[in-house]
Amino acid sequence: MQDHSSSVKSLDAKPHRSLFERLTALISPEPENRAELLEVLQDAHARNLIDADALSMIEGVFQVSDLAVRDIMVPRSQMDTIDISKPIETWMPDVLSTSHSRFPAVEGERDKVVGVLLAKDLLRYYAEESFDVRDMLRPAVFIPESKRLNVLLRDFRANRNHMAIVVDEYGGVAGLITIEDVLEQIVGDIEDEYDFDEEEDNILAIKDGAHGPRWRIKGLTEIAQFNETLETAFSDEDADTIGGLVANHLGRVPRKGDEFDIDGMRFEVLRADARQAHVLLVEKLPDTPAAEEEQ
């Protein structure tokens, strides 16, 4: 009877590496830590083995594992909430103007979050005679500031949840975070149906404010386009984009809610993440009488 043991062993055994492969491994060993792995990936991008978007997303994945909720959450002072202790008519205009899909529902004070209201559930307010907003509330999820973003993302996916209320060590509300906030650390700014994505829509004129004309502007808008459209004269020597100009002015990464004036223009950061400003509201300030008299 023929012995098949040798053939079985040959099938199970791993193929031997060639002398060239072993020499290559000695010269260029496998990365031993994250920094070395990133260097390998950056080298792969330099040699056109992976594109810039892929590299950016991989770096974003690493960043998510390093960041905690406190690093990217919307602070309590900037949370858009609804107070269900007040009549619906008092906060409905805010719901319409902010265009969020979810709102933390509080009762009297920001620390007393009693649930989450989905904007789409408010359609029943117009369709039903008897409408109780409390019946529409979804349970709120509370998480600590120290929770890692990669763990939070896993929880969001497992529980099919989209928003969490962040609490500090004393149990007070510190802010909120959404699944979109976490994903934007990986893939960049996520556009929705209220965003604009065409290059010609980098700058959108909106209703005039208290001081004068206003525009909604993408952070990646080139300064040259900004100057041409708004008739300004900002320098592009130190930055190419409006987001970069704003970051240089502040000396740090802009945060949502930041407001400041630069050369007769008032800027407000509408959307930002841990890396850059994405959308800004810009308003032209009126000329001061003093400046006119000096002329």
For 193-210, what is each residue's pLDDT tens digit? 445 444 556 888 876 666
Instruction: Count other C-beta atoms under 10 Å from residue 124's C-beta.
Output: 14
79 and 152 together in one domain: yes
The predicted structure's pLDDT at residue 29: 57
Residue type for position 234 = F
- Cα–Cα distance for residue pair 223/247, rounded to 1 Å: 13
> Is 4 part of any domain?
no
Q: Does pLDDT of 228 surpass 80?
A: yes
Local confidence band at 289 (pLDDT 50, 70, 90 cut-offs): very low
57 and 95 together in one domain: no
- Domain with 24 in it: 19-67
Which domain CATH number covers 130?
3.10.580.10
- The SS3 assignment for 270 reads strand
Strands 277-284, 214-218: parallel, antiparallel or unpaired by DSSP?
Answer: antiparallel
Percent of the chain with pLDDT over 70: 78
Range in 28-37, 121-130, 154-163, 233-242 with the lowest mean pLDDT: 28-37
Q: Which of 131, 163, 187 is the last residue of a domain?
A: 187
Q: Which of 28, 44, 67 is the last residue of a domain?
A: 67
251 and 263 together in one domain: yes
CA-CA-CA-CA torsion sign (204, 205, 207, 213): positive
Q: Does pLDDT of 156 surpass 50?
A: yes
Local confidence band at 189 (pLDDT 50, 70, 90 cut-offs): low
pLDDT tens profile 19-70: 555 544 544 556 667 777 778 877 887 888 887 777 777 877 877 888 889 8
The number of distinct structural domains making up the chain is 3
Q: Which of 154, 187, 220 is the last residue of a domain?
A: 187
The predicted structure's pLDDT at residue 96: 82
Question: Distance from CA of residue 227 to its chain's centroid?
Answer: 26
- Cα–Cα distance for residue pair 146/177, rounded to 1 Å: 13
- The SS3 assignment for 51 reads coil
83 and 175 together in one domain: yes
- CA 79 → CA 26, 168, 237, distances in Å? 55, 15, 36
CA-CA-CA-CA torsion sign (89, 94, 97, 101): negative
> Is 161 part of any domain?
yes
What burial letters (b/e) apply to 268-279, b meaning 16+ CB within 10 Å? bbbbbbebbbbb
The predicted structure's pLDDT at residue 40: 80
Q: Which two tokens stand for residue 41?
A: 């990936």
86 and 183 together in one domain: yes
> Is 264 part of any domain?
yes
Q: Does pLDDT of 212 surpass 90?
A: no
107 and 164 together in one domain: yes
- Of 192 and 108, the structure prediction assigns the larger pLDDT to 108
Q: Does pLDDT of 272 surpass 50?
A: yes
Work out the mean pLDDT of the chain and round it to a whole number: 79
- Cα–Cα distance for residue pair 64/182, rounded to 1 Å: 7
- Cα–Cα distance for residue pair 123/213, rounded to 1 Å: 33
The predicted structure's pLDDT at residue 282: 92
Q: Which two tokens stand for residue 45?
A: 């991008």
> Is 239 part of any domain?
yes
- Of 150 and 186, the structure prediction assigns the larger pLDDT to 150
77 and 172 together in one domain: yes
The predicted structure's pLDDT at residue 103: 93
Instruction: Count other C-beta atoms under 10 Å from residue 113's C-beta.
Output: 19
Q: Does pLDDT of 85 surpass 80?
A: yes
The predicted structure's pLDDT at residue 113: 93
- The SS3 assignment for 204 reads strand
